[in-house]
């Protein structure tokens, strides 16, 4: 059974991310499953820290991107928007090249908040980073 209130294809989500940080650093949504959203990001000079490995902030950007997109698919977007409230990340293994994949799955989908678990893995399926993202579900402002 699907958790999504709004159905979207990876292509539609990639288009939504045009001209954003996600596009700038190469994040690409690749898969929308019944209870997860997945995206990839290249590990290259655009996402490196000065020591030549994946920047922790780039990992967090990937985690927040997949979690935020997923959260917003779980609400009536004509009435609500989900906004990042808190994120943490544990960086477990350095990666210097290739592609990393972030997968977001929900811990909790509530009326006012959501909590998402994001795992980032390298091309060998080794765990690189784990993150927890809390999203606020906020009513959209009505035009007066």
2, part of any domain: no
Q: What average pLDDT does the segment 33-49 reach?
A: 98
- For tokens 């045009």, the residue is 18
4, part of any domain: no
For residue range 67-121, what is the model confidence (pLDDT) as tens digits? 999 999 999 999 999 999 999 999 999 999 999 999 999 999 999 999 999 999 9
With a pLDDT cut of 70, the percent of the chain lying above it is 99
Output DSSP code: residue 75: S
Burial of 41 (0-12, 13-18, 19+ CB in 10 A): buried
Residue 57 has pLDDT above 70, yes or no: yes
Q: How confident is the model at residue 144 (pLDDT cuts 50, 70, 90)?
A: low
Give the domain range for residue 103. 10-139
Cα 59 from Cα 55, distance rounded (Å): 7
Residue 116 belongs to domain with CATH number: 3.10.129.10
144, part of any domain: no
Catalytic residue positions, numbered: 64
Cα 74 from Cα 69, distance rounded (Å): 9
Number of domains into which the chain is organized: 1
């Amino acid at each position: 059974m699907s958790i999504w209130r709004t159905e979207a294809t990876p292509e539609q989500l990639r288009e939504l991310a045009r001209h954003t940080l996600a596009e700038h650093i190469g994040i690409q949504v690749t898969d929308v499953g019944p209870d997860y959203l997945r995206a990839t990001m290249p590990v290259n000079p655009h996402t490196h820290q000065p020591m030549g490995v994946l920047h922790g902030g780039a990992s967090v950007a990937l985690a927040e991107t997949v979690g935020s997109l997923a959260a917003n698919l779980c609400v009536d977007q004509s009435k609500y928007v989900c906004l990042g409230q808190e994120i943490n990340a544990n960086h477990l293994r350095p990666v210097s090249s290739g592609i990393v994949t972030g997968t977001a799955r929900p811990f909790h989908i509530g009326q006012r908040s959501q909590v998402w678990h994001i795992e980032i893995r390298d091309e060998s399926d080794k765990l690189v980073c784990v993150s927890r993202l809390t999203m606020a579900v906020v009513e959209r402002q009505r035009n007066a």
